[in-house]
Amino acid sequence: METLLSYGPDAKHSHLTSALFYKDTAGRMDRPDPTAAGDAVNHGLHKRYALTKGSKTVDMLGPVHSDIFFQDKYLLNGVDMKLKLIRSKDTFCLMSDDVDVEYKVVVKEASLFVRKVKLNPGVTLAHARALEKATAKYPIRRVVTKVFSVPTGNMSFVQDHIFLGQLPKRLIVGCVRNTAFNGSYQQNPFNFDHFGTNFLAVYMDGEQIPYKPLKPTFTADGSGNYIRAYHTLFSGTNKMNQDEGNAISRKDYPGGYTLYAFDLTPDLSSGGHYNLVKQGNLRMEMQFQQPLPTTVNVIVYAEMDNVIEIDRARNVVFDYTS
C-alpha cells in the first residue's frame, strides 16, 4: 500500500522493479495462472513469473520499510540498534493456479547495506558540545496499521476508538478478502476490492470527515459513480494539483485499487511540514450495497508525526508508547 500510493509511473517502471514491483492488471488480480493469454492475463504476475519460472534464482534490492529508515538525518555513533526481519508466509507472497502444489520461497543469501559516514573531528566535537545542552532529535513519520474483520453477510462496519490518544495526520482505508490476507495461492492479498461500498466517513472527536461523506456506487462493468472516492488518492496523499501521480487510473480504481485516503490535518498539509500532535478519538463507519459474500478484512493504514530523541549517553527516548 505504501509503495503503491507513494510513487509515480517513472519510479514504478524503473527502480522499483529491482524489488519485483510490477503493477497488477486491474480486474485480473485473482487470476493466478501466470501463463494465461489475452484478456485473462495479469501482466504484473506474468512479469514476475518470467523472472522466477523453473525455480530460477532472482536477485532483488529494495529498502527496509521501517519508520527510522525513512528519515533523512544520520544516526549518532554509539547507538545500539537491532534489526529483526520476519518473513511473510509463502501462501501470502506467491500465487499459483495449481491447488495440489505448494510452492516455496528459498532465500539463498541476504545482505544489509548500511552507509557509514566519517565526520570531520571538528563536527564530531561540535555534536558532543551540543548534546550537553540538548538531545539529538529525529522527526519520523510513524506508520501504524490496524486490521478489522467484517463477517460474511454484514452490510455495515462501525468501529469506535480506532485510535484513542494520538490522532493520525493521514488515514488510508482498504478492504481485502480474509482468506487472501491470511495467505492463499489462488488469491492476491493486494486486491483491494470495493465490495459494493456505498458509504464511508471517519469521525475525529465527533466531527465527520469529509464534511460530505463518500457515497460511491460500483457496478460490475466498472461504470459506477466513484470519482470523489478515486480523487481521495490524490487529495489525501498531497498529490492534488501537483505534477505527480501514482499510476492508478480512473478505470483501474474499481478493479482492485479501491483505496480511500484522508488528510486529517487542519491545513490539509499531511505531506508538508511537521504537524502538532493532537489527542482525541477516531471512529469510522462503512456501509455496503449488498451483504458481504465473504469475510472481509478492513485495513486501516495511519501515519503520525513523532520524534525520537537521543541524549549524550546514547539513551533513546520516544514520544509515543507503541
Tell me the per-residue pLDDT of 119-174, one tens digit each, with 9 for 90 and over. Answer: 999 999 999 999 999 999 999 999 999 999 999 999 999 999 999 999 999 999 99
CB hemisphere CA count around 1 (13 angstroms): 23
pLDDT-above-70 percentage for the chain: 98
The C-alpha atoms of residue 43 and residue 35 are separated, in whole angstroms, by 10
Q: Rounded mean pLDDT of the chain?
A: 93
Q: What is the pTM of this model?
A: 0.92
Q: Calculate the alpha carbon distances from 32 to 44, 65, 106, 183, 185 in Å.
A: 11, 27, 20, 13, 7
Domain with 121, as residue range(s), is 2-318
What pLDDT shows up at residue 272? 67
Grid cell 450495497 is found at: 289
Cβ–Cβ under 8 Å, residues 280 and 167: yes
Residue 322: band (very low, low, confident or very high) from pLDDT cuts 50, 70, 90: low
Q: How far apart are the first and last CA of the chain?
A: 21
User: Phi-psi category of 268—alpha, beta or left, where left has phi over 0 and alpha has psi -120 to 50?
Assistant: left
Q: Would the CA dihedral through 45, 108, 112, 15 be positive or negative?
A: negative
Query: pLDDT tier at 277 (50, 70, 90 boundaries)?
Result: confident
Q: Pick the range with the lowest mean pLDDT from 43-57, 101-115, 192-206, 234-248.
A: 234-248
Which residues does 163 contact at the CB level (< 8 Å), separation at least 6?
A: 144, 281, 282, 302
N residues, the chain: 322
Number of structural domains in the chain: 1
DSSP secondary structure string, 220-275? TTS-SB-HHHHHHHHHTTT-TTSS---S--TTTGGGTB-EEEEE-STTS-TTSS--
Q: Does position 270 have pLDDT exceeding 70, yes or no?
A: no
